[in-house]
A and B are shown apart, each in its own frame.
Chain A
Amino acid sequence: MDESFGDDARSDRRAHPLWTTIRRLLRHRLFLSGLILFAIIALAAILAPWIAPVDPNKLAMRYKFQPPGKDFLFGTDNFGRSLWSRVIWGARLSMLIGSSVVLINAVFGTLIGAAAGYFRWLDNGLMRVNDALMAFPAVLLAIAVTAVLGPSIGDVIIALGLVYTPRTARIVRGSVIVLREMEYVQAAIAAGAGHFRILHRHILPNAMAPLIVQLSFLFAVAVLTEATLSFLGVGAVPPTPTWGNIMAEGRQYISDAPWIIAIPGAALMITVLGLNLLGDGLRDVLDPRLRVQP
């Protein structure tokens, strides 16, 4: 019976829930504008080797401090490096770090949250550690952890994963606790389904909506925190072209060459704005309980 129902749903595309959701998302103005902004940055990141073929670390002292214009679209910095190349390759690093942190959160946040929410005997212990990690101010903890681990991209990803996974785990746990008490789950338990099957088939698919919303906001937060770490000089070491690094190096020349700061900052803002709009749209469509009635 289960399978025939699935076939029916797939044969009529219009009725498939995924299809309906996508259509509703694409009709959501804010989601669409967020998607476009994010897509611009993501495309720039993917196409970096083709649209910015000049090595972002190539020095050319005789072209230093060129303002944005015809020769250098985004201008050059104090070493004559092309800001176009540096900002585009910076987008690649931001996207890499953002998506890695999202992946870490999706995997470990779900595992920890599901374990704590489903197995009551695990809940107390896991959530105390979770609460403790969440009690630290996020940026401070991220700084301290990178200080300990080291200043490479991989270490920054681990630090951000450690800082933000507890927040994701808490959200998953919240959904799982509610779902565990639902009658259909109780029915599955009564029918003798195993823990894994109940979690995998009955609980987690229904806990996905808030998780997806959280992960879209988390992407923005991860990109932002990484830029903050680089800007403070505790992230990936210069001359790695992260947006935070470019802005930190531009600080000295803020009065003569403000574009060195303004352009990577604008790229950072577009990314964060795009992801926030995306997250708002996803929340409106996927999680209608949270929507404010007009």
Chain B
Amino acid sequence: MLGVLLRRLASALPVLAIVSLITFGMIHLIPGDPAAAIAGMSATPEQIANVRRDLGLDQPILGQLWRWYGDLARGDLGRSLLLGVPVLDATLQRLPVTLALSAYALVLTLLLGLGSGIVAALKQNTWVDQAAMVLAMIGISLPNFYLGLLMIILFAVDLRWLPTGGYLPLWRDPLGWLATSTMPAISLALLLAGLLARITRSTMLEVLRQDYIRTAHAKGLPRRQVVLKHALANALIPITTVVGIIITLLISGAVVTETLFSIPGIGQLLTQAVLNRDYPMVQGGLLLTTALLVLINIGIDVGYALLDPRIRHDG
């Protein structure tokens, strides 16, 4: 177990090193003079010179790189030009909002995706199966911000059941949080539930064809027990790896969902940063989010090894 963890951490290190190098290099891809672009159109030459000095853009590139990694090692990601606070603080402050929304969406995804995938596999080639797969296909093809807008038109504008947007913190007003987070979570979850349903269905079908399932049936075990204990338990193993992809897609999707529903999470923070040319915030936020996802995926791999003894004993 420890072996899996250490091996994954070791392979994540070079990835993270390159991720941070790409994030560092990003600012130098700005066409023309980065300092002038950051300072804005109406900036005076002095302001441009100030930006250049503050961001260290007047240093030689290797010096800048040295400083970037030195700052990273000390947990210093720079200061947001727009908010005037350290990038790390701004990100950590918004992180719980995005995590709470993603967790809600993940629960919906798992319920909908696993449920419909299992039912479709058990009722293979019936209308239930076909309906589930048509719905999954529509879910996959429905852009999340379009779904969000359609829900706003229906549930907020026409029926007035839910607010069009805004946010109430979970720990202060759980019911308010539920009211403001339900539409965003559904708009995030439907696509992923569609993906998960298709994968669950095909994995279940594969497992249900195995000899040990036939043996279990032949032994006279109740169908329910065969499905849950023999089939699902084994089908879940490959499905676990998909959860890592789902979480990455959730965070990616949260960018647009948070902006659409005015939820003050990381996605909204970064969109604002991009629109306001707040490059330190863009770089730092991107780096932190990516590092977090890398860590989450390591956690999932370790969980996968816990579930599947073949992997656990392999190395």
Residues of A within 8 A of B (CB): 128-129, 131-133, 135-141, 143-150, 220, 224, 227-228, 231-234, 247, 251, 254-255, 258, 261-262, 265, 268-269, 272-273, 276-277, 292-294
Contact = CB atoms under 8 A, between A and B. Distances in A.
A173 to B, nearest CB: 16
B290 A247 contact: no
Given A144-B286, A231-B145, A132 B293 contact: no
B274 A147 contact: yes
A276 B26 contact: no
Given A232-B255, A276-B140, A133 B145 contact: no
A131 B141 contact: no
B55 interface: no
Interface in B1-29: 14-16, 18-19, 21-22, 26-27, 29
Given A261-B153, A262-B150, A292-B206, A224 B143 contact: yes
12 contacts: A128-B15, A133-B22, A136-B22, A137-B289, A141-B286, A143-B270, A144-B282, A150-B31, A232-B271, A276-B137, A276-B141, A294-B125
Given A254-B153, A261-B153, A228 B15 contact: no
Contact of B256 (A145, A146, A228, A268): A228
B30 interface: yes
Given A137-B289, A228-B145, A269-B143, A144 B26 contact: yes
Given A135-B15, A228-B256, A251 B274 contact: no
Secondary structure at the A interface, as helix, strand, loop or mixed, is helix
A292 B202 CA distance: 6
B252 A137 contact: yes
Nearest to B250: A137
Interface in B260-314: 267, 270-271, 274-275, 277, 279, 282-283, 286, 289-290, 293-294
A268 B141 CA distance: 9
Given A258-B153, A269-B142, 18 more contacts: A135-B293, A136-B19, A137-B249, A137-B251, A139-B256, A140-B252, A140-B270, A144-B26, A144-B270, A147-B282, A148-B26, A148-B29, A262-B150, A265-B143, A265-B149, A272-B143, A276-B141, A294-B124
Contacts of B143: 224, 227-228, 265, 268-269, 272
Given A128-B14, A131-B15, A234-B271, A136 B152 contact: no
Given A137-B251, A254-B157, A148 B27 contact: yes
B52 to A, nearest CB: 17
Nearest to A264: B146
B146 A148 contact: no
A219 B248 CA distance: 20
B36 interface: no
A273 B138 contact: yes
A294 B124 CA distance: 8
B259 interface: yes
B150 to A, nearest CB: 7
Contacts of A148: 26-27, 29-30, 279
Among B124, B146, B152, max chain A CB count under 10 A is at B146
A286 to B, nearest CB: 17
B157 A255 contact: yes
A102 B17 CA distance: 29
Given A128-B14, A234-B274, A276-B137, A139 B252 contact: yes
B253 interface: yes
B275 to A, nearest CB: 6
Contacts of A294: 124-125
A128 B290 contact: no
A146 B249 CA distance: 19
Contacts of B282: 144, 147
